[in-house]
Amino acid sequence: DTGVSQNPRHKITKRGQNVTFRCDPISEHNRLYWYRQTLGQGPEFLTYFQNEAQLEKSRLLSDRFSAERPKGSFSTLEIQRTEQGDSAMYLCASSLIGYEQFFGPGTRLTVL
């Protein structure tokens, strides 16, 4: 399978816990994006990387959120001290510079 993969697919956690999600992009893609999607809405941009550099962050990305792409390959998105409002589908996408983004299956987070 050469598509974008995300792990885990589902995560249930209690409020206040930290969670970390992983995204493995299509191997030759140098850009990697994170989005959040809530029920009945379109995906909302969170942040993106070009190789290992994080080049843009949305104001939606509060201080409790951090993303890394240490070697320019896979990326992690960590949410600290989760809140119920963080419950959503977290989507990862990758692309070549200037080309369309291909999305992974998402990680569904439920915060109890």
Partner 1 sequence: AQKVTQAQTEISVVEKEDVTLDCVYETRDTTYYLFWYKQPPSGELVFLIRRNSFDEQNEISGRYSWNFQKSTSSFNFTITASQVVDSAVYFCALSEANNNDMRFGAGTRLTVKP
Residues within the interface to partner 1 (CB under 8 A): 31, 33, 40-45, 48, 55-56, 58, 89, 91, 93, 99-106
CB of 45 to partner 1, least distance (A): 4
For partner 1, the closer of residues 82 and 101 by Cβ is 101
For partner 1, the closer of residues 74 and 102 by Cβ is 102
| Residue that has been written with the tokens 């809530």 in this structure | 38
CB of 7 to partner 1, least distance (A): 14
CA distances from 92 to 14, 16, 65, 76, 88 (A): 23, 24, 15, 10, 13
CB of 73 to partner 1, least distance (A): 19
11: nearest Cα among 75, 59, 79, 96: 79
- Answer whether 43's CB lies under 8 Å from 36's CB: yes
